[in-house]
Structure 1
Amino acid sequence: MLLALGAMFLQQTFASLGRSLPTVIAPAIISDLRLDAAWVGVYVSLIAVSALIFQLGCGSFIIRYGALRMSQVALVLLAGGLSAASTGWIFLFALSAAIGGGGAAISTPASSHLLGRYSPPSYAPLVFSLKQTAVPAGLLMAGLLGPALTQSVGWSTTLNIAAAGCVLFAFMLQRLRPEFDADRVPSRQFRFSDFRTTFTSVLATTDLRNLSMACFAFNGLQTVFTSYFIIYLFELGYDLALAGLVFSVAMFMAVPCRILWGWLGSTSISPRSMMGGLAFGMAGSTLLVGLFGPLWPVLIVGFVASCLSATAMSWHGVLLAEAARLAPAGMRGMATGGVLSFGQLGGLLLPLAYSGLLFITESHGIGFMVCGAPALLVGTLLMRRSAQGDASPPRQS
């Protein structure tokens, strides 16, 4: 289990780094190519469209080829996306979003399928949360190293360095394949009906349907946060290095919080109540982020951003463990992909809404407030369902 956890932690770290790096260094790219900041929302929405398609269709490939092999495929796709973006051609930026978004999308269902085999059921939220700390770890690396490398060697070379790291780690995973892909089913065939089956399977039960709604709101807000926060600070007067530092500090806070929420969800608090509380935290933090102004002290801005990171960047382990627990036997990857597909819809629609509001109002604050509203609605739903009785099995302390 520890070896599987370590391998999937590093896989998700590279996936997070590869997906977020272009938006982290977006101010430099926007300035160099003379683009409007609203186009960032279009870029991340293209990523979400690609991710939605890949997550709906990857379940059969995970079963046929194995979770580790698909993890390697994910890393190679991410490397291709980063290299395409490094050219600076607008057409290849769109291709980068499609390839890189697909690679990042495969990484989570594949790692969830693998860890579901080795995790003790009563502590699955903790194990999955430990694995998912890789997401803020990758964002932390992007926030610290991305601006520094961009100022030193340029944004294009920075993207290519990250691409090389993804390819190198994909090769390093090869030695683990005989053990971790031992459950693959080579006779499994991909069918186009898998797209519909994956999507509709999570709508068949109330619990998976609620998880899907939560994933829509949480992932949409997370995508807005990681895509626009540095640009927001940059337009408030922060230089790129300081904005990246504030972002990195906020991402660092998500690491212990993911572990804490996973531990609480494994021991003393039901996963549903845990996610409901996080949803309310997201809504409140986003409201404060929307009120930022040039006169706000950096420490206060960093504190509020850390609160948003502690909630909007820290829900994954609890939600993914619940999705794996509720999935039919042998279908963890497909069920997880189905739930996450709703998250990709959030990652598609909320950034587009943000871009539209930014274009109309020229206000980042309004965009953050509006994109935090779905989390408030989901928190109310989850807490109401929790008060009616939680369907989760008893947890061991």
Structure 2
Amino acid sequence: MAARRVPEPRVLRGPVWIWALCGTLLMQAVASFVTQSLPVIAPLITASAGMSPESIGNFSALVAGGTLLFLLLGGPFLLRWGPVRTLQLGAALSALGLLAAAAGTPAALVVASLLLGIGYGPSPPAGSQILAATAPPRHRSLIFSVKQAGAPLGGACAGLVTAPIAAAFGWSLALLVAVGTACIAIVAIQPLQQALDSERDRGRPLNLRGLLRPSVLFAPIGALRLHPVLPLLTVLGVSFAALQGCLFAFTVTWLTQIHGLSLVQAGAAFASMQAAGVVARVLLGWLADRTGTPIRNLLVQAVVASACALAFGAMPRGFPLPGIHLLAAVCGFLAASWNGIYLAEVARLVPARDVSNATVGSTLFIFFGYLAAPAGFALIVSASGSWSLPLALFAGQLAVVAGVVFLALRRIEGRAVG
């Protein structure tokens, strides 16, 4: 079924999909910048709060938990307010979360992590809803991947901006810079609100009874039955998310604690990882459109990403700084560039009216990966004293899952041919 096209609004000059892409890219980058600022300066925050360095994994899990909460209950808000207004409100909640984190206590960090997660929650479904309605179908994977490139772009900015500010002036000021960035983005996207929120359901009820109706809660999960490949795509995404979540949550802390890098040096390596992801999301999204086999591309990417993450985790102490940057960049290129292709495939596999529900349903499971993996990583570090072991385990599971998904996909294709 062809995607519903948003009418060209008079207030915007040029093709509407360009404005839609610019707006969603901006909000994706800012959401990532705000969220990733916490793990980037984690060594300073956890030390100030009297907590162990690996405890940042628990806070990263809470961020994912907050996103899950929005994905479970946020559908009616998205329908009532429209995707642009929902993105603005998400950015506002993230800013409140960072203000809470500035208190520096364990309780404040719990509240901050949940607010950051809820604030990030609108990014996947709202962005997909906007782009599915506006993107030219022949360039869908590329356009979704460009939007998703905002995630590592924001992460790179977190490594390059918040780490030096925190090291020079204190982590509280670094958090305030991130808060200001979120506020600027809220204002910047406002000109798009009237055009892209034109079909919102103003009469959609937002009372508690309506939010907790089974039809609301289970509609996204039910949408995964719309196509037999959707569950396989979701399983592969969860596996990717587990590895990516661990890399993003622990790279800075691991490099400072084990490899002896300063916070600024580790933040720069983290930025290399994120910047490579920006390039990869655009390049690999373009390649997926050209080959016409996005899922198979992801399967190959998963195996290679697994091998690269194993090499990154096996770096000996005293490894040269340029080598650390190179391995971090390769991991970012392969392990953190799957998201746009995955979201474009979800949107392609279902009718246009079901894109939001299918995206939410699939992304719910993705964020279970983001939630469980950092918490499991922290638990393994505490139990074993090793940082390389959990990284090897989470890297290895991606290769195993890719093999299982490949075999299952072959069976589905065989039944279709037969």
CA apart distance, 1:252: 1.2
2:221 aligns with 199
Whether the 8 Å CA contact 1:265–1:274 is kept in 2: the answer is yes
* Letter aligned with residue 81 of structure 2: Y
Per-residue deviation, 1:115:
0.8
Counterpart pick for 2:107 among 77, 91, 101: 91
Counterpart residue number, 2:28? 12
Residues 40 and 158, structure 2, Cα contact 8 Å, conserved in 1 = yes
Shift of 1:385: 4.6
The answer to whether the 8 A contact 1:84-1:95 is kept is yes
**Among 227, 242, 252, which residue is 1:230 paired with?**
252
Asked if the contact 2:232/2:409 (under 8 Å) is kept, the reply is no
CA contact (8 A) 1:27 1:231 kept: yes
The 8 Å contact of residues 285 and 305 in structure 1, kept in 2 or not, is answered as no
Aligned to 1:264: 287
- Show the counterpart of 2:195: 179
2:9 aligns with none
Q: 1:180 to 1:287 in 2, by over 3 A?
A: same
- Tell me the TM-score normalized by structure 2: 0.90
Quote how far apart the aligned CAs of 1:203 are.
4.8
Comparing 114-123 and 134-143, the one that deviates more? 114-123
Q: How far apart are the structure 1 equivalents of 2:300 and 2:76?
A: 34
Q: Matched residue of 2:202: which SS? A: coil
Rounded Cα–Cα distance in structure 2 between residues aligned with 1:348 and 1:30: 19
| 1:146 corresponds to 2:166 | no
Q: Which secondary structure does the structure 1 equivalent of 2:200 belong to?
A: coil
Q: Quick check: 1:370 aligned with 2:393?
A: yes
Q: Tell whether the 8 Å contact from 1:125 to 1:317 is kept in structure 2 after alignment.
A: yes
Deviations 1:192-242 (A, max 9, x none): 222222134225642111121122111121111111011111011111111
1:269–1:297 Cα change, 3 Å = farther
- 1:274-302 deviation line (CA, Å, top 9, x unaligned): 11012112211121122122132222222
TM-score with structure 1 length normalisation? 0.94
Aligned to 1:73: 89
Alignment check: 8 A CA contact 2:46 2:55 kept: no
Cα distance in structure 2, aligned partners of 1:365 and 1:386: 32
Aligned-partner residue type, residue 132 of structure 1: Q
* Structure 1 contact 75–103 (Cα < 8 Å) conserved: yes
The question of whether the paired residues in 1 share the 8 Å contact of 2:226 and 2:350 is answered with: no
* Cα distance in structure 2, aligned partners of 1:56 and 1:334: 10
Identify the residue that residue 217 of structure 1 maps to in structure 2: 239
Aligned-CA RMSD value: 1.7
Moved more, 11-20 or 273-282: 273-282
- Which shows bigger deviation, 99-108 or 372-381? 372-381
- The question of whether the paired residues in 2 share the 8 Å contact of 1:224 and 1:350 is answered with yes
Shift of 1:388: 5.4
The within-5 A match list for 1:93-108 is 93-108=109-124
Q: Report the CA distance shift for 1:390/1:320 in structure 2 as closer, same or farther (over 3 A).
A: farther
Which of 62, 70, 74 aligns to 1:58? It is: 74
Q: State the partner residue of 1:24.
A: 40
| Pairing 1:289–2:312 present | yes
Q: Secondary structure at the match of 1:38?
A: helix
Residue-by-residue CA offset, 1:363-387 (whole Å, 9 max, x unaligned): 1100101112331122113433555
How far apart are 1:3 and its partner, in Å? 0.7
Which residues of 2 match residues 155-170 of structure 1 at below 5 A? 155-170=171-186
Tell me by how many angstroms 1:323 deviates. 0.9
- 1:137 Cα deviation (Å)? 0.5
* Bigger Rg over Cα: 2
Secondary structure at 1:333's aligned position in 2?
Answer: helix
What corresponds to 2:360 in structure 1? Answer: 337
2:129–2:356 CA contact under 8 A, matched in 1 = yes
* CA distance in 2: counterparts of 1:46 and 1:203, whole angstroms: 28
| C-alpha separation in 2, matches of 1:172 and 1:158 | 21
**1:140 Cα offset (Å):** 0.6
5 Å matches for 1:375-394? Answer: 375-385=398-408, 387=410
Rounded to whole Å, the distance in 1 between the matches of 2:249 and 2:238 is 16
Q: What is the distance in 2 between the residues matched to 1:352 and 1:199? A: 24
What letter matches 2:376 in structure 1?
Answer: A
Q: How many residues align?
A: 391
Q: For residues 16 and 178 of structure 1, what CA distance do their matches in structure 2 show? A: 25
Report SS of the residue matched to 2:198: coil
**Separation in 2 of the partners of 1:331 and 1:67?**
15
Alignment of 1:106-145 (within 5 A): 106-145=122-161
AA partner of residue 134 (structure 2):
Y
CA–CA separation in structure 1 for the residues paired with 2:410 and 2:280: 24
Give 1:320 shift: 0.3
Deviation readout 1:74-119 (Å, 9 max, x if unpaired):
1001101111101112211111111110111211211111011111
